[in-house]
Amino acid sequence: MTSTITDDQPSTTTAPTKDQSPVLLNDTRLASRARYWEEIDLTAGAEEPRAWFRSDAATLSLNGEWRFRLSPTADLPTDIADEAYDDSGWGGIPVPASWQLNGHGAPAYTNVLYPFPVDPPHVPDENPTGDYRTHFELPAEWDAERTILRFDGIDSAARVWLNGGELGVTSGSRLATEFDITSVVQKRGDNLLVVRVHQWSSGSYLEDQDMWWMSGIFRDVTLIARPAAAIDDYFVHADFDHVAGHGILSVDAPAGARIIVPELGIDAPAGEIIEIPGVAPWSADEPRLYDGELATSGERIPLRIGFRRIEVVDGIITANGRALLFRGVNRHEFSPDTGRTIDEATMLEDVLLMKRNNINAVRTSHYPPHPRFLDFCDEYGLWVIDECDLETHGFLPDEHDPLPGNPVTDARWRDTLVSRMQRMVERDKNHPSIIFWSLGNECGPGENLAAMAEWTRARDPKRLIHYERDYTSKYVDVYSRMYPTHAEVELIGQQQETPLEDAALDANRRAQPFIMCEYAHAMGNGPGGLTEYQQLFEKYPRLQGGFVWEWIDHGIRTKDAAGREIYGYGGDFGEPLHDGNFVADGLLFPDRTASPGLAEFKKVIEPVRITDVDGAIAIANLYDHRDTSHLEFAWTVESDGVGVAAGTLDVPTLAAGESVVVPRPAIAPVPAGAGETWLSVRAVLRDDQPWAPRGHEIAWGQVELARTARVRSVPRSGAIATDDRDIRLGSTVLDARSGALRELVGIPVDGPRLAVWRAPIDNDRSFSESPLETAWRKFGLHRIEQRTDSVEATEGSVVVRTRVAAAATSLGFRATWEWTPTDAGVRLHLDVTPEGTWPVTLPRLGLELVLPEALGSADWFGRGPGEAYPDSQRAARVGRFVSSVDALQTPYVFPQENGNRTQTRSLELTDAAGRGIRIIGAPSFEFTARRWTTADLDAARHDGELIRRDRVWLNLDIAQAGLGTASCGPKTLQQYELDVAPAHLEIDFERVG
């Protein structure tokens, strides 16, 4: 058997020799320690941490079906370790997996609060405990001087036996643990491995990480042969001198090991410092890796070496001498079907999706990921903040009144916290993609964190140290914050942030680079305001970008009481304490399809900027380290969305940071009456890349070339007929008393009604400090009623005056609807005047119509193809787009306002035969079309609850409010709020087909 896995151990550690077999623990040692799972220093019997690698030494995966039993408490007899124990009454469970997703218990979600009483290090007696048993045989060819049993992840603590002998105890759920089993494993015949896993332990206080609480052996279990002359640990140091263009390579490894890199002509003893002229450096833009080997007579380890130098120079983070701008995301490991158990294909999919969407950095929130994910980051190119398996947020439900006993401030926990840091650093130290070690997340300040930083800096001085809640930046290398406002970010960029009381600390922090380790909370419909953040990043050198929270919605695939498939969130599994859908806050939906927020982020952070400058095309290369030779610039010209010309723009290769202005392509004159003519320029891949095929779009820009006056329908005089019941304007019919439509250009409709309500998005809801939804509902915007004051028909038009207001308030809106027949249909002039002094903004302002079910196809000229809102519309380009009404919907895990299309010049809604209605703006409008009401959307709690009705509800809006990011962060910027003010809408309706 060949190649699979090994793990953490510092190079200073000496492994046991043949005659130094490890001493096994025995039952009495731990059995005499009542409630050992509550001990602060819980891990016992494990090997020292070391690097994770694969070699030519044999491995044996123990993944597969194990016997399993779940008990409600932790205080259980240890007879399960006996070979004679009868487990025939147990069930089975896959390993790796979480038991809550395999029919044993239920997952639970909390963001901050611990789901057990806070009394560290104690946990409740009700402590679900899973017992695992499996049998294995070593292969006949197994050749090992020592045999290591490795667990890559067990949540939250485990006790391990092999063949009746106790190996030890492990905690640190997202950290690897190895046991030397040489003296107890049977080289021939059957071996019995038994693992007891406790859901709660002292370690649970360190793992409050805004994710589902799940338990079990959720990462790989592997046996690793350590042959004679094995390389148990090594540390690759691959520096890059960007001035000389030289690589500097050395490898810490056991005596006798050699480093071999054929491409560089290297075959030298490990430990030597080798200077290599002319190497290509590693960066996220160009992840150049050199393949090599580390070899002894007993083992050969493949190496992938990336030369790079990370420094802070004059307060700026640099890589290979160039400043970095992080276009990053935070990533939890998650699958809607397997929870935190992620296979390699899913890890690779995440990396490829990030690269295809212009993302160049990832923070492994809030724990070290599976090591293979980091291999993919090395190979495809992502800067990585590797974060320790540490968060104690539950001690800080109120930042100003913390609960007592926080482990980061309690000296008893110091060694445990330092050990967690050590296990991460040693495991992951050979990845060129990792440029930050992060001490953890949301623990508050504490001297134990300082101890973690001190150990890390001594062990690996070539990387930077990050921790966001050290607001003084006393023991870190970068000033990091979560969710500051745009205004505060600008002050920080200007080095004008609020000073610290300690002048020395203030000066130190002010000299540091600034990143936002979390910003732009991507919960539900949003985030808004990305453009304004990016403009600040590009304006002030100190602002070096940030990491959007977060990569993926953590919705668990399940079914509701009616049997409909939904993505479950907090509270859907019977948890008495939970944080609802706050766990669904990603740029990807749970099935890894992209949300509109990801499309917007990709556009905002595009590494090539294409703009119009004085009648020419300006192209700027915003890559940190890559030129544009891998791109070509395709252009098209469209008139009213119809293509009239295309070609390729001649653009010279631009080095990183360079820009150029090139002439527009020569095109034939635009004919009169062509409407709007737009030039689009797209930067696409010239050839296949490892992460995307030829033609994949990296960036785009649009320029309006010409606009001619549209030929509009002509009003028809004398086309109005009235009787006691109806008023007819050609094929449009109004109710003579209410002014409501019966038919619109021959199509039966209901309405129109003034619309001011939207189903609140997550950023409107109660997650924010000042939720807009609360204020909107207070003034009854969700329950307005319409009164008709008058209906007046003249020879040229029909004027309907209405008032819209809610019960219990005198505030309202006067609406004047003027209908004018035209030679092609009917024209509507809508004037809206607010009454009273409104203390709130509006969600939306426009009108709603109800159309026949058959009108299920949409064809529009405006911005698209995806949804857009005032502060999230960079990804929407001007063009002609076609969609079904069903496909216009965005399936947010928690239903909310969605599907808005902006700056729509014209819209056709038609049936299968092409018959329907055309709507033309003067100049434009916004629209949403859906098969359920806004009230349905407002009432639903899961996308699967939305039941298709037999009508189409069409909103034609003057405007909608922006999105912001207030579910966790700043509210909508003022310029994107929808103030209560007089407004006007003019649109023409025509029959199609």
C-alpha to C-alpha distance for 515 and 302, rounded to whole angstroms: 35
Which two three-digit tokens encode residue 974?
Answer: 């003022």
CB 850, CB 751: distance < 8 Å: yes
SS3 545: strand
- 659 forms bridges with which residues in the sheet? 620
Which two three-digit tokens encode residue 844?
Answer: 């939306």
Which two three-digit tokens encode residue 462?
Answer: 């070539």
The single-letter DSSP state of residue 425 is: H
CB 221, CB 151: distance < 8 Å: yes
C-alpha to C-alpha distance for 360 and 377, rounded to whole angstroms: 10
Please name the residues in contact with 744: beta carbons below 8 A apart, sequence gap of 6 or more.
732, 826, 849, 917, 989
The question of whether 835 is a catalytic residue gets the answer no
The question of whether 442 is a catalytic residue gets the answer yes
Give the Å distances, CA to CA, from 637 to 338, 634, 663, 679, 923.
47, 11, 15, 5, 21
C-alpha to C-alpha distance for 774 and 764, rounded to whole angstroms: 8
Please name the residues in contact with 84: beta carbons below 8 A apart, sequence gap of 6 or more.
none
- 151 forms bridges with which residues in the sheet? 177, 221
- Phi, psi dihedrals of residue 29, rounded to the nearest 5°: -65, -45
CB 283, CB 242: distance < 8 Å: no
Amino acid identity at 664: R
CB 388, CB 439: distance < 8 Å: yes
Residue whose C-alpha is closest to residue 219's, from 103, 51, 339, 329: 339
CB 934, CB 867: distance < 8 Å: no
Sign, Cα dihedral of 495, 498, 501, 505: negative
The single-letter DSSP state of residue 950 is: S
C-alpha to C-alpha distance for 376 and 218, rounded to whole angstroms: 20
C-alpha to C-alpha distance for 923 and 863, rounded to whole angstroms: 13
Please name the residues in contact with 614: beta carbons below 8 A apart, sequence gap of 6 or more.
none
- 552 forms bridges with which residues in the sheet? 588
C-alpha to C-alpha distance for 118 and 128, rounded to whole angstroms: 18
Residue whose C-alpha is closest to residue 889's, from 861, 929, 859, 941: 929
Which two three-digit tokens encode residue 280?
Answer: 């290509």
Residue whose C-alpha is closest to residue 331's, from 358, 369, 357: 369
Give the Å distances, CA to CA, from 410 to 120, 121, 393, 545, 657.
10, 11, 15, 34, 48
SS3 923: strand
C-alpha to C-alpha distance for 165 and 768, rounded to whole angstroms: 53
C-alpha to C-alpha distance for 29 and 38, rounded to whole angstroms: 15
Q: How are beta strands 266-269 and 157-162 bridged, if at all? A: unpaired
Cis peptide before 254 (omega within 30 of 0): no
Long-range contacts formed by 830-834: CB under 8 A, 24+ apart: 830/984, 830/985, 830/986, 831/982, 831/983, 831/984, 832/754, 832/958, 832/982, 832/983, 832/984, 832/985, 833/982, 834/980, 834/981, 834/982
Catalytic residue among 178, 293, 497, 518: 518
The single-letter DSSP state of residue 961 is: -
Catalytic residue among 47, 333, 387, 442: 442
CB 967, CB 585: distance < 8 Å: yes
Catalogue the active-site residues. 442, 518
